[in-house]
Chain A
């Protein structure tokens, strides 16, 4: 008589997931090696420039991931399905990781190049703000115990945060321009483009893989929660 709402835990065949994971990893390794081998050392930075092949794609993914959060958050508010909430939060967690990576590499690059750890340049600063926005999103999830309220509020926070990403970037860049600070060295030297493009795709595949893995774990957790709740209620699921 009393039914318990359950997540339709789709059991994705393990092999497919693993296959994609291996593919992404191998593609990444191949892209990194290719990029490192085919690009000449930079005039000023020498081989340190190679760090760009991780830093820049990571930065791009950091901008892309919030879009994922936005999409699934909006979908959650309309459809109210737990899967959408879990997808949004998985994307957010992966986004935080990529943001952290971008920031660390940015600092590792800046120090030998300009002698300082932080330059307040537009991209890096925006990434830092995005990192904080995502940290706020995760705090909301950590602090709220009620599942529905957590999903609703996360969706709201995720939507607002994602909307703000381009706005933050634009305003920080304008801020830098107004004060006539020199912008950071551009990365459009044609010798580097192929390497960057290759690695951009590699990072995209890796990010998708991470999000899906995280989502799978979340689904399993949620299914277990539902099962134990149903058991506590005394209902056969």
Chain B
């Protein structure tokens, strides 16, 4: 796939991705393509490998078979390039409990080489200015999720890999998440979102795919999924 041929480079391009844990194959050949500007929901039963797939796409894990490319970069051979494009939101907030909200963001800003002013603006955007000086240990799960979201904004991702991003969010938080996704997507970013239920993401999803038995089984347009029962 190249720009020259007229087909746009897929943001996420996975072919036959397989991964085992010990002797059990969790992913058995996942083939998936997400174009820039698309939001794809990833569904599947518990333990079906959704998080594993996301980890492989974000370069945290290597595939044991198959290939995956993010914005044209191979996740194994060009992992550094992939990392500069990807924004990964893990299921656990991945924050430092003894540091304040602001300190966590400031740390991320330094690691990402962002300006000081960005710290304030992202905290404001996610509505955590009031709680900025509180230690993460004392923040509710929903606020921690927002903080992780703030960090995600700092990353300025071109490809979003979100693992159950709506968990613990109140309705305002859900609105915030959807607004952000819409903004990123309008800018040309792509998103692969692991979901347990469709309802929160209904308005931003373009389509859903389901992992069954380690492979992508069904692809449906989002509104069809919802009509079929939302799971």
Contacts and interface: CB of A to CB of B under 8 A. Distances in A.
B29 interface: yes
Contact of B65 (A2, A145, A228): A2
A233 B18 contact: yes
Contacts of A145: 22
B137 interface: no
A3 B23 contact: no
Interface of A: 1-5, 145, 148, 228-229, 232-235
Given A1-B29, A2-B29, A229 B20 contact: yes
A103 B190 CA distance: 62
B16 interface: yes
Report whether over half of chain A's contact residues are helix, strand or loop; otherwise say mixed.
loop
Contact of A232 (B16, B23, B62, B66): B23
Contacts of B158: none
Report whether over half of chain B's contact residues are helix, strand or loop; otherwise say mixed.
strand
Nearest to B16: A2
4 closest cross-chain pairs (CB), A and B: A2-B16, A2-B29, A2-B65, A1-B16
B28 A229 contact: no
A191 to B, nearest CB: 58
Given A2-B16, A3-B65, A232-B23, 6 more contacts: A1-B29, A3-B66, A5-B64, A228-B23, A232-B24, A233-B20
Given A2-B18, A2-B29, A229 B62 contact: no
A145 B21 CA distance: 9
Interface residues of B, number: 14
23 contacts: A1-B15, A1-B16, A2-B18, A2-B28, A2-B66, A3-B16, A4-B18, A4-B64, A5-B64, A5-B65, A145-B22, A228-B23, A229-B20, A229-B25, A229-B64, A232-B20, A232-B23, A232-B24, A232-B25, A233-B18, A233-B28, A233-B65, A235-B65
A149 to B, nearest CB: 10
Contacts of B23: 228-229, 232
A155 to B, nearest CB: 16
Interface string B31-67: 0000000000000000000000000000000101110
A234 B28 CA distance: 9
Nearest to A229: B20
Nearest to B20: A229
Contacts of A229: 20, 23, 25, 64
Nearest to B66: A2
Nearest to B214: A233
Contacts of B15: 1
Residue of A2, A145, A148 ringed by the most chain B CB atoms within 10 A: A2
